[in-house]
A and B are shown apart, each in its own frame.
Chain A
């Protein structure tokens, strides 16, 4: 085997090259290479093979740039690297790495494009004319859109493989043996005589040679880790209170900050902070953008002083009362607000008879409210800004913070942390900008700014409210026409506006989950309308599909009922994508769909494709004298390859709980320009006593490897509504459902 074929000269790392094979560099070259962020600060005798692997004489460090917001991203990324690098779990450290172009998220390139996941033609894949998709923001380097697995699956295995082969080459040269005679196992190169040379002992040698690249990836049948239940790397720390979240960090000389920000997102009209200033432990009180900051020597003292400030606020730029938000949505079903018309099969107008089924559906604003409140620890000096927080968009965060403090983006150092939940909230930069603005006033002093939970609710950019006006028709026991008009404010437009980026075109998130539904209904139209002038909104776990998925699957159930067909059988008949059909067949089998149920029980089914992943769910409820009890949920999702079955199941169960809980009881409503819900008593989601049994099956027939953090959310609410209909005869067309039924 000629070395010329296995050894590459320096190669520039572009997104494309990174996918194809990862890139390996010798230390000398790496040190000059701006594209590998690990090159800076590499000690003598340390090797970095690509932006994800760093080895020195003491330890192996794997870089896992996708944020861990509870979904297990660190463990997933490490598993993929360790698989090809022949590391055992526990033999390495992980780091989030620093913000860098090398960690560009390539999986999201197509997420904003108006092509169905099944449309894999050249035109679909080649057209990256983003129409306001998540990719635009997240693609820079980001975690979102359930894209971490898709982005990492080939890239990180390739990075592990190239590092492995380079270490083998180093061992071959050092010991004068043929590379082909070497194997690797448990973090060591094994010589022909069986001697194991630990990778750490080869770091200096590997650093001195040109790296190997274009290493073929192993066949699935050879995987040791992928697809097997493994123990998450963070599980012990998270079970012993020893994992430090950003809120737990303490720096020398640190002060605690709390804020009173305008609950109307407006300016301060007047304030009196005298009482707050004299409270014990208070260091300072000063105005900041849209509010006031308190510095104190303890979080609680800062909280109390913030609450003691007497302040009046300017009016909100959006309607003060919730009823007027709804009026704005109702008024946006006009040609002037038409945003997209992505589905128009057959001839809906002629197919809809005068007695067609018609209904109106609604979803409210909902807060994210991850359990760790929004906070950031920031230290500003004249030449640097350091930020400790958990964030999904490191490079966007750098730009936003730099804009606040007047530094250059490259002077902002993000020490990313494990998040105590996100659900989309850590795509926002506002909470970090607030902390940076405060820390900038006291340069040199680290400031830990923590939102009181009440502030967290008040400042949350919620999931958009939305409405659907639907019409459907049937013939000979079959669904023949479905027309959905959906209106809501644009979550992506709102986010992009806050980032100061120009909004390019429409937002396919408004009808997400509906326009792309894998149903071959003869006459099928989905139109989306963008509602202007209401409250600013954001991405909330599963984004547009959290609303539009409910619209289509709740209403389709009504039309199927009108046809006199079985809800699951008719969906199977309509389904025009074999992968999606597989999920419906799986839940039918798992739940023994069609079996006769005792009096008072009912089952509903729903299937939604979001982020390329079809998920079918069957919910079973009992109508008890005290209210509705959710007994069981069966879920089938097809992600191509399940990287870790335990974490997969946990994510699916969590997503189902999320979808059901908020559908049951959560909303944000505005009054006097302010959110009326201030803490979990008013928006609690699901509690343990309400949690059903959740049976999960991961299917692996998909042509692509996809993520699972969000896709099980959208079908949960409509499957619940449909189950309640089956049990009680009552159609729920509006969330939260507890406006109409009681849950026990």
Chain B
């Protein structure tokens, strides 16, 4: 089966129902996308399909019908995406394990809604668990990222 991930085509030989999460991690070696719950409860596995945030643990490989972007494709340590810049400046991460998912969720959300209200932020982000409780900084970084994206 053919997948386009971070601008590159890949052929993978996997079961139709293997979740995209495990195709990315164990077949393609893209380890930035994380496993947290496997049942759409934590958001650690969030990636983009055609720019829309999806839970890759819930998306069967055969159901992928768009370009996939993972955290590795969003930006790099040398060339940060605006959301990542805000994440670094605000120093959001504690253990950091949830942050790939948080950042992917925010990048897609701000793309569609560049000037969100507090309620919209709450609604968009509440599927992403942070066991370390970095929520106050996540909120602040979203505001900062929105500012950066508006200015860009």
Which residue numbers of A lie inside 8 Å of B, CB to CB? 69-72, 231-232, 234-245, 247-248, 250, 256, 280, 298-301, 303, 369-373, 418-423, 450, 452-453, 646-647, 650-651, 653-658, 661, 679-681, 684-689, 691, 693-694
Contact = CB atoms under 8 A, between A and B. Distances in A.
Given A453-B37, A691-B136, A693-B136, 8 more contacts: A239-B103, A240-B76, A241-B31, A300-B22, A371-B42, A372-B34, A418-B95, A686-B133
A243 B103 CA distance: 14
A57 B127 CA distance: 49
Pairs of residues from A and B, 5 with the lowest C-beta to C-beta distance, nearest first: A241-B32, A657-B133, A70-B95, A238-B96, A420-B97
A661 B135 CA distance: 12
Interface string B71-105: 11001110010001001100111111111100100
A298 B26 contact: yes
Contact of B93 (A69, A238, A300, A419): A238
B109 to A, nearest CB: 12
Given A72-B94, A231-B91, A656 B31 contact: no
A371 B98 contact: yes
A657 B137 CA distance: 12
B99 A239 contact: yes
A689 B118 CA distance: 9
Contact of A688 (B35, B71, B138): B138
B4 interface: no
A688 B135 CA distance: 6
Contact of A685 (B19, B125, B129): B129
B72 A241 contact: yes
B91 A688 contact: no
B122 A371 contact: no
Residue from B75, B77, B135 having most chain A Cβ neighbours under 10 A: B135
Contact of B97 (A371, A680, A693): A371
Nearest to B95: A70
A244 B22 contact: no
Q: Which of the four size classes fits the interface of chain B?
A: 35 or more
B10 interface: no
Nearest to B71: A241
Contacts of A654: 94, 132-134
Contact of B96 (A231, A234, A691): A234
B29 A657 contact: no
Given A70-B95, A370-B131, A240 B32 contact: yes
Interface in B13-50: 15, 18-19, 21-22, 25-27, 29, 31-39, 41-42, 44
A239 to B, nearest CB: 4
17 contacts: A71-B94, A234-B93, A235-B87, A239-B87, A241-B32, A242-B72, A242-B77, A244-B31, A248-B31, A256-B26, A300-B26, A373-B36, A420-B96, A423-B131, A650-B134, A653-B133, A681-B39
Nearest to A297: B26
A420 B34 contact: yes
Contacts of B103: 239, 241
B123 interface: yes
B126 interface: yes
A71 B94 CA distance: 6
Contacts of A248: 25, 31
B34 A240 contact: no
Nearest to B85: A239
Contact of B88 (A71, A235, A372, A679): A235
A243 B95 CA distance: 10
Given A371-B36, A372-B34, A650-B91, A240 B71 contact: yes
B80 A239 contact: yes
Given A240-B32, A300-B26, A658-B133, A372 B95 contact: yes
A422 B132 CA distance: 9
A452 B103 CA distance: 24
Nearest to A633: B136
A129 to B, nearest CB: 36
Contacts of A280: 15
A421 B131 contact: yes
A298 B15 CA distance: 12
A399 B91 CA distance: 37
Given A70-B132, A453-B37, A657-B133, A236 B94 contact: no
A240 B95 contact: no
A194 B150 CA distance: 47
B41 A684 contact: yes
B108 interface: no
Nearest to B133: A657
Contacts of A658: 131-133
A688 B137 contact: no
Nearest to B94: A70
A606 B123 CA distance: 31
For B19, B131, B134, which residue has the most chain A Cβ atoms within 10 angstroms?
A: B131
A661 B21 CA distance: 28
Contacts of A651: 94
Given A244-B31, A300-B19, A680 B71 contact: no
A646 B88 CA distance: 12
A316 B141 CA distance: 47
Nearest to A368: B131
A650 B131 contact: no
A359 B121 CA distance: 41
Contacts of B80: 236, 239-240
A411 to B, nearest CB: 29
A651 B94 CA distance: 8
B46 to A, nearest CB: 11
A357 to B, nearest CB: 33
A299 B27 contact: no
B100 A653 contact: no
Contacts of B139: 688, 691
Contacts of B133: 653-658, 661, 685-686, 691
B77 A237 contact: yes
A71 B26 CA distance: 29
A233 B97 CA distance: 16
Interface in B107-150: 121-123, 125-126, 128-139
Contacts of B77: 236-237, 240, 242
A691 B125 CA distance: 11
Contacts of B97: 70, 245, 370-372, 420-421
Contact of A240 (B36, B84, B137): B84
A657 B31 contact: no
B41 A679 contact: yes
A236 B103 CA distance: 13
Contact of B84 (A239, A300, A681): A239
A297 B91 CA distance: 37
Nearest to A68: B95
B34 A371 contact: yes
A300 B18 contact: yes
B34 A688 contact: no
B79 to A, nearest CB: 10
A298 B132 CA distance: 28
